[in-house]
Homo-oligomer: A and B are copies of this chain.
Amino acid sequence: MGYDFRMNSKIDKLIKQFAKLPRVGGRAAQRITLALLQDKTGKTVALGAALIDAAETIRPCGICGCLTDGDNCEFCRDASRANGQLCIVRDLSDVWTLEKSGVFSGRYHVIGGLLSGADGVTPEDLNIASLPARLSDEKITEIIFALPNTVEGKTTQHYVMSIIGNKNITFSELASGVPLGGDLDYIDDGTLSIAFGGRKQI
């Protein structure tokens, strides 16, 4: 490992903390640590304070599951997004991907994972139980599933449809264009736009 050697214990610890983050290897962790330790613009303290503040104040929105520092998130507070459409996604990063593409302007519901027998993920592990009440509270008329196009994604989608039942709600899923086995995160905006526009009723 590029970062495993005897040196100042505080610096060593910091490198190891960075190396544990996603998409950061040992050598990048060294570079990041060195840059932050040599910075004279206050960047390091600012990042440290932002992390502590975020850990203390950022929580899942009680309505949709997006992360926020308020009682409810920006999407749930924004009345202009109450257009009757609810987009169900696995993760907050999928919300970010959709927001960046600009193809959707309704509300989100972040379920936080996918049902999986292999990984032992059951409905109780997901943010699903509150969904039925949301549909009447917010007068939802269309549910758009933007889950990964995988067995787990489809299984989860069918489970969610089954607990909602027949409530005069239109169900949609993204049109083909989403590559099989693909994560929403890796799709370009153009493809995502086509997939959204061509969503088909189930």
Contacts and interface: CB of A to CB of B under 8 A. Distances in A.
A52 interface: yes
Contacts of A91: 34
Select the residue from A34, A45, A54, A66 with max chain B CB neighbours within 10 A: A54
Contact of A50 (B8, B14, B28, B185): B14
B46 A48 contact: no
A117 interface: no
Interface in A40-93: 42-58, 66-69, 73-74, 91-93
Interface in A6-35: 6-8, 10-11, 13-14, 17-18, 20-24, 27-28, 30-32, 34-35
Contact of A32 (B21, B45, B48, B92): B21
A165 interface: no
B24 A68 contact: no
Interface residues of A, number: 56
Nearest to A56: B45
A17 to B, nearest CB: 5
B68 A43 contact: no
A68 to B, nearest CB: 5
Nearest to A60: B38
A99 B68 CA distance: 44
B50 A100 contact: no
A184 to B, nearest CB: 13
Closest 9 CB pairs of A and B: A48-B51, A48-B52, A44-B55, A23-B28, A48-B48, A22-B31, A45-B55, A5-B100, A21-B32
